[in-house]
Amino acid sequence: MNVVNLAQMLEFSQKGDSRGHLVIVEGKEDIPFDIKRLFYIFGSKNDIVRGQHANKESEFVLINVAGTSKVKVNDGKGNEAVYSLNRPHTGVYLPRMVWKEMYDFSDDSVLLCLASTRYNEGEYIRDFDEFVKLVNEDE
């Protein structure tokens, strides 16, 4: 199975009434890992591409809590998928060793990123050709 098939859209529980809405995301319940880190991206222009890396160990769930963006994933074996994040109660799960690019940000976009690991620069692969080489070594 290619790693792109492991990436998937998730829908989270939401509650709401006349006061507004509440979205609930719990580690090991709504997403397949314990949350060790979170960060968010905002203020990115429409023509900016973020990410452009893979992670050896980290899994992610990306949620546009405001605005919209797109996420393109590539497994380095010729398989690619694009996810549109346009509802604050949905997100995309990204497994380890998938190349990710976030782009097409709306002006009001706030992209929340939940990670399975603490930050470790050493686990990032920032060169696409190196990523392709690594994922194809096992064959």
Catalytic residue annotation: 53
C-alpha dist (Å) from residue 75 to 35, 40, 94: 23, 24, 11
Amino acid in the structure at residue 125: I
Which residues, 6+ apart, have CB-to-CB distance to 62 below 8 Å? 71, 85, 91, 92, 94, 102, 111, 112, 113, 114
